[in-house]
Amino acid sequence: MSYPLQQTVTAEAPETPCIETSKLSAYYKSKQALHDVSITIPENKVTAFIGPSGCGKSTLLRSFNRLNDLVDGFRLDGNISIHGQNIYSPDVYVPELRSRVGMVFQKPNPFPASIVDNIAYGLRLKGIRKSTMIHEMVEWALRSVYLWDEVKDRLNDNALSLSGGQQQRLIIARAIVMQPKVLLLDEPASALDPIATFKLEQLIQNLKDQYTVVIVTHNMQQAGRVSDYTAFMYMGKLIEYDLTATLFTNPKERLTEDYITGAYG
């Protein structure tokens, strides 16, 4: 490999920074998954992480809400701050952090409960019991993901009876109802058909007005369609990070170019 091991990539980011990492290295037991990743993710934009399988993009994403903490043998060096707050400092209350940094997974994972209960889950975790408040919040969240009209007549049906695309939007509503600052989407469309994917992408476009969205995807067209910024990762390193338009049309790195032209991956 002809690339230097250490590489500092900085994107031009005139926007307000939201998530900043510096010299982030992550390990699963002895295996290093991230190598000195420093990235600044702007607020109210969609940032996509692309790269081949195993490149560390999901590890990076899951570090933003400390979901990796529960993985046996996971260790992290370096710094991550969200809105200037170091999220790995000992005085951070992790459940509170996670409710501020919502996450959507690859496979829709509704709880085996009603649609309402799924969305109300997070509210109830916070001790909210007032049913009028819960109902208004549920309606708002479902409207935010354009699901309200589809499910308003069967709010008490089991969420598992929804289609895959509806489920995934439900999951986003479930995250949104917590009023997070950041939404982390981990390959949210990979289990969906093209129409559901299209709807989801439209939704993501609209979400960035209120949320900072970080999306991990295998699908470069998707990254091109939905994101404002794109980071290309390879073997645990951040190779290139730029405006999406720039990165796709005029990549600075050969590796990036090979990847986005489909030479490997």
Question: Looking at beta carbons only, is 245 or 254 nearer to other proteins?
Answer: 254
Beta-strand runs (E) in 29-161: 31-42, 46-50, 74-82, 85-86, 101-104
Question: Looking at beta carbons only, is 15 or 258 nearer to other proteins?
Answer: 258
Q: How far apart are CA 211 and CA 242, in angstroms?
A: 20
Is residue 98 a contact point for other proteins (CB under 8 A)?
yes
Judged by CB under 8 A, the residue of 24, 48, 55, 67 near other proteins is 67
Judged by CB under 8 A, the residue of 22, 77, 92, 111 near other proteins is 111
Residues pairing with 26 in the sheet: 34, 76
Helix (H, G, I), strand (E, B) or coil at 60: helix
Q: How many residues does the chain have?
A: 265
Residues 14-33 that bind other proteins (CB under 8 A): none
Size of the site for other proteins (CB under 8 A): 35
Q: How far apart are CA 51 and CA 141, in angstroms?
A: 31
CB of 197 to other proteins, least distance (A): 20
Q: How far apart are CA 173 and CA 242, in angstroms?
A: 29
Residues 6+ apart with CB under 8 A from 92: 85, 86
Which span (15-23, 106-114, 207-215, 218-226) binds other proteins, by CB under 8 A?
Answer: 106-114
Judged by CB under 8 A, the residue of 11, 48, 255, 260 near other proteins is 255
Among candidates 76, 59, 91, which has minimal Cα distance to 22?
76
* Token code pair at residue 98: 């996670």
Q: How far apart are the first and last CA of the chain?
A: 16
CB of 116 to other proteins, least distance (A): 15
Which span (23-31, 41-49, 119-127, 209-217) binds other proteins, by CB under 8 A?
Answer: 119-127
16: DSSP letter: P
Residues pairing with 234 in the sheet: 237
Question: Looking at beta carbons only, is 217 or 256 nearer to other proteins?
Answer: 256
CB of 199 to other proteins, least distance (A): 21
Is residue 112 a contact point for other proteins (CB under 8 A)?
yes
Judged by CB under 8 A, the residue of 88, 105, 148, 198 near other proteins is 105
Residues 155-194 that bind other proteins (CB under 8 A): 158, 160, 171, 174-175, 178
CA atoms within 13 A on the CB side of 216: 23
Contact footprint for other proteins (CB under 8 A): 1-2, 65, 67, 70, 72, 90, 95-100, 102-103, 105, 107, 109-112, 121-122, 125-126, 158, 160, 171, 174-175, 178, 255, 258, 263-264
